[in-house]
Copies of this chain bind each other. A is one copy, B any other.
Amino acid sequence: MQNVRPLPQYLVGRYHGWKATSYAENSAWYRRLAEDGQRPRAMVISCCDSRVHVTSIFGADSGEFFIHRNIANLVPPYAPDGLQHGTSAAVEYAVTALHVAHLIVVGHTSCGGVAGCHAMCSGRAPELEEKSSFVGRWMDILRPGYERVKDLPEDQQVGALEREAVMVSIENLMTFPFVKTAVESGELSLHGIVHDIKNGTLMQAEDGGRRWAEI
């Protein structure tokens, strides 16, 4: 592994600044988090996108959110087939080991993954149809959402598909037996929101996702 390189110096500098300030001010808390373990209140599933950092939006500090981030904040359906499912593993750990009280799926506008899915499903991105396209195969999860938006006016489809990325994920979450049980017993609540990057607004799923209202 000759390929591991030293961290870029600008990040080293910022890290030293963080350690001398934020870490120093909170060292007692970090020590306790290390010794007692984490006990986050919520799991957040959001996109890898560099423009959506939920800790900022919600003023959440270390220890509050267990965060899984993948392309387009998707959760696949339950499939206990012995294969590697990173998202399912994260959900399983959060719900069965950490017993989070809330599971919040956070979508966003201008999502590259969703746009790619829309292009693929509408026949404009054959390269994503290929077996070897990891992004394409991942976005297959959102195909049921495309079916629900494809008859909308053209200029509304991508926005609707961004909301479907949240709703499909919540539907799939309910196919996991441990999620379903926890939701039905009142130990876990599911939430779906979409963040508008440009305006900074949050839209919230209401009435089972049939309506979306600004918070």
Task: Please state if B67 and A50 are interface contacts (CB–CB under 8 Å).
Answer: yes
Task: Please state if A92 and B174 are interface contacts (CB–CB under 8 Å).
Answer: no
CB of A160 closer than 8 Å to a CB of B? no
Task: Please state if A8 and B25 are interface contacts (CB–CB under 8 Å).
Answer: yes
Task: Please state if A200 and B49 are interface contacts (CB–CB under 8 Å).
Answer: no
Chain B residue contacts of A32, Cβ below 8 A: 99, 101, 187
Chain B residue contacts of A186, Cβ below 8 A: 27-28, 31
Task: Please state if B89 and A63 are interface contacts (CB–CB under 8 Å).
Answer: no
Task: Please state if A18 and B187 are interface contacts (CB–CB under 8 Å).
Answer: no
Task: Please state if B204 and A7 are interface contacts (CB–CB under 8 Å).
Answer: yes
Task: Please state if A93 and B70 are interface contacts (CB–CB under 8 Å).
Answer: no
Q: How many A residues, CB 8 Å from partner? A: 127
Task: Please state if B15 and A215 are interface contacts (CB–CB under 8 Å).
Answer: yes
Task: Please state if A35 and B93 are interface contacts (CB–CB under 8 Å).
Answer: no
Task: Please state if B22 and A9 are interface contacts (CB–CB under 8 Å).
Answer: yes
Q: Report Cα–Cα, A140/B42, bound state, in Å.
A: 26
Q: Which of A1-59 contact B (CB under 8 A)?
A: 1-43, 48-53, 55-59
Per assembly, the copies of the chain total 4
Chain B residue contacts of A202, Cβ below 8 A: 7, 15
Task: Please state if B28 and A102 are interface contacts (CB–CB under 8 Å).
Answer: yes
CB of A159 closer than 8 Å to a CB of B? no
Q: Report Cα–Cα, A83/B132, bound state, in Å.
A: 9
CB of A141 closer than 8 Å to a CB of B? yes
Shortest CB distance A190–B (Å): 5
Chain B residue contacts of A138, Cβ below 8 A: 84-86, 89
Task: Please state if B4 and A192 are interface contacts (CB–CB under 8 Å).
Answer: yes
Chain B residue contacts of A102, Cβ below 8 A: 8, 28-29
User: What are the 7 tightest A-B residue pairs by CB atom distance, in nearest-first order?
Assistant: A17-B17, A34-B198, A10-B61, A20-B20, A89-B138, A29-B101, A1-B208
Q: A15-B202, A28-B182, A34-B197 are in contact. List 13 more A-B contacts (CB 8 A).
A: A2-B208, A7-B215, A8-B102, A15-B58, A28-B187, A34-B51, A38-B49, A55-B56, A59-B59, A82-B137, A83-B83, A89-B135, A92-B133
